[in-house]
Amino acid sequence: MLKNIPDRLPPFKPENLTFDPVCFDWKSMFKNSFYFIILFLVFLSSCNHPGKENLPGNTENVKLPEPTIIYGIAVDTLDVIQGKVKKNEFLADILLRYGIDYATIDHIARKTKDTFDVRKIRRGNTYTVIRTKDSVPQTLYFVYEISPTDYVLYNFKDSVHVSLGHKEIVTKIENISGTIHSSLWNSLVEKGADPNLANVLSEIYAWTIDFFGLRKGDSYKAIYEKYYVDGRYIGMGKVKAASFDHGGKTIYAFYFVQNDKGDYFDEKGASLERTFLKAPLRFTRISSRFSNSRLHPVLKIRRPHHGVDYAAPIGTPVYSVGDGTVIEKGYQKRGGGNYIKIKHNGTYTTSYMHLSGFAKGMKVGKKVKQGDLIGYVGKTGLATGPHLDFRFYRNGRAINPLKVESPPAKPVEPANRPAFDSVVAHYIPLLDSIQ
């Protein structure tokens, strides 16, 4: 029991009340239970001041570090091992090294091939093993990258679960400009750009520019997409806009979608596509042109050569320059070797000779579309080296393929002109500003 407690307490005056949690006389506090209650409430109030976030031990506003996530898995406390599939290495070889037993591997091979067929793993592709950091590590996950963007995930934590995943693709817009000194391909390589841009530009301008006739001093500009995964460049996207100065003339190309179909148009809305491609194969050289009197390289006599010879390695793909129907397919021992002839309409027919072979399914009567694969460059028949002899006929009469003027495809429709004009107004200043 506490002693010497007076029967009556003096009146309580809050202005006379102070509290120092360090120097407070705790013994006196217990002598008066009423004072104790009041002081305790004041103490609680003093703890609830605006600066409480600065008091030691308060964690309300502390930022925790972001976890490391790969393939959707938090791996901060796990061991991550990456490797590449070696020559003649199979999935079983890899998994056995990391403690996965034969029964589980057999289950994966037989029961999960609808998700991914393990026989399709390829040399050089990346894989990742995720396991515990115990003295005897346990493999929890195995990831095989099917492509730079797609992967298959094997989860061994409980029973085996298999799923396909996709990495996020980041798109960046890049621009480039250059001058032709020898070829478009070489110009891009010299600038450290993706040389595949040469293929893309050649396809965009396939109907309007003869890429076998580029001149020294021709120049180009392009604004295009580049794709990245995990900060690594994986390939090109669309060319959004381009300009090509060829023979003193600037030819623009703008990508525009109408009626759910994307195509390239010039600044006036005319399609760059034509009824016929300029050439049936890509990036070769012309070894012989259209002539009424050419010295034959084998027969050593002068006679007409009513075609264009494109020198290219054996096996180079050959494409139909337009929609049509195969009307002839055969072999000329003392002439064109393996050849195909395609009738495009009532006026035009094309012929492709000296092929090493035909594309699958090629036969008389087959319908083909512009750009369809029809065969491969060879040197069959009377030929000294691999090349394609390409011939063009108008109403049955041979004409120079390099001088064929084909009608354009459909332009931008009137209802879409405002949207198209805004695309042109956006990109022309950007192209002009590229140095």
Q: Are residues 157 and 184 in the same domain?
A: no
Residue 360 belongs to domain with CATH number? 2.70.70.10
Domain count within the chain:
3
Banded model confidence at residue 292, pLDDT cuts 50, 70, 90: low
3-state secondary structure the chain: CCCCCCCCCCCCCHHHCCCCCCCCCHHHHHHCHHHHHHHHHHHHHHHCCHHHHHCCCCCCCCCCCCCCEECCEECCCCEEEEEECCCCCCHHHHHHHCCCCHHHHHHHHHHCCCCCCHHHCCCCCEEEEEECCCCCCCEEEEEEECCCCEEEEEECCCCCEEEEEECCCEEEEEEEEEECCCCHHHHHHHCCCCCHHHHHHHHHCCCCCCCCCCCCCCEEEEEEEEEEECCEEEEEEEEEEEEEEECCEEEEEEEEEECCEEEEECCCCCECCECCCCCCCCCCEEEECCEEEEECCCCCCEEEECCEEEECCCCCEEECCCCEEEEEEEEECCCCEEEEEEECCCCEEEEEEEEEEECCCCCCCCEECCCCEEEEEECCCCCCCCEEEEEEEECCEEECHHHCCCCECCCCCHHHHHHHHHHHHHHHHHHHHCC
Is 280 domain-assigned?
no
Q: Are residues 381 and 298 in the same domain?
A: yes
Q: What is the mean pLDDT of residues 206-226?
A: 89
Angstrom distance (rounded) from CA 248 to CA 429: 20
Answer yes or no: pTM beyond 0.85. no
Q: Are residues 124 and 184 in the same domain?
A: no
Is 29 domain-assigned?
no
Residue-level pLDDT at 419: 97
Q: What is the mean pLDDT of residues 61-77?
A: 86
Single out the residue in 127, 147, 166 at which a domain terminates: 166
Single out the residue in 166, 195, 222 at which a domain terminates: 166
Average pLDDT, the chain: 85
- Greater confidence (282 vs 133) lies with 133
CA 101 to chain centre: 37
- Greater confidence (394 vs 255) lies with 255
Query: Which of 127-136, 181-190, 399-408 has the highest mean predicted lDDT (pLDDT)?
Result: 127-136
Q: Are residues 253 and 329 in the same domain?
A: no
Single out the residue in 166, 197, 212 at which a domain terminates: 166
CA angle centred on 246, ends 242 and 248, rounded to 5°: 120
Q: What is the mean pLDDT of residues 218-224?
A: 96
Residue linked to tokens 């079983």:
92
Residue 91 belongs to domain with CATH number? 3.10.450.350
Neighbours of 111 (CB within 10 A): 11
Q: Are residues 142 and 244 in the same domain?
A: no
Q: Are residues 161 and 100 in the same domain?
A: yes
- Greater confidence (217 vs 43) lies with 217
Is 376 domain-assigned?
yes
Q: What is the mean pLDDT of residues 346-375?
A: 94
Residue-level pLDDT at 30: 47
Q: Which domain holds residue 234?
A: 170-265
Q: Are residues 359 and 393 in the same domain?
A: yes
- Greater confidence (182 vs 243) lies with 243
Express each pLDDT in 82-131 by its tens digit.
Answer: 999 999 999 999 999 999 999 999 999 999 989 999 999 999 999 999 99
Answer yes or no: is pLDDT of 60 > 80.
Answer: no
Q: Are residues 176 and 120 in the same domain?
A: no
Q: Are residues 291 and 395 in the same domain?
A: yes
Residue-level pLDDT at 346: 82
Q: What is the mean pLDDT of residues 26-49?
A: 55
Express each pLDDT in 135-149 by its tens digit.
Answer: 999 999 999 999 999
Answer yes or no: is pLDDT of 374 > 60.
Answer: yes
Over pLDDT 90: what percentage of the chain? 61
Contact 354, 387 (CB under 8 A): yes
Angstrom distance (rounded) from CA 147 to CA 116: 13
- Greater confidence (37 vs 246) lies with 246
Q: Are residues 200 and 158 in the same domain?
A: no
Is 56 domain-assigned?
no
Q: Picking from 157-171, 202-216, 254-268, 421-435, which range would have the lowest pLDDT averaged per residue?
A: 202-216
Answer yes or no: is pLDDT of 275 > 90.
Answer: no
Q: Are residues 183 and 162 in the same domain?
A: no
Q: What is the mean pLDDT of residues 230-259?
A: 94
- Greater confidence (341 vs 288) lies with 341
Is 311 domain-assigned?
yes
Banded model confidence at residue 5, pLDDT cuts 50, 70, 90: very low
Is 129 domain-assigned?
yes
CA 230 to chain centre: 13
**Among 206, 384, 214, CA closest to 309:** 384
Is 31 domain-assigned?
no
Is 41 domain-assigned?
no
Express each pLDDT in 246-273 by its tens digit.
Answer: 988 999 999 999 989 899 999 999 999 8
Residue-level pLDDT at 59: 55
Q: Are residues 158 and 177 in the same domain?
A: no
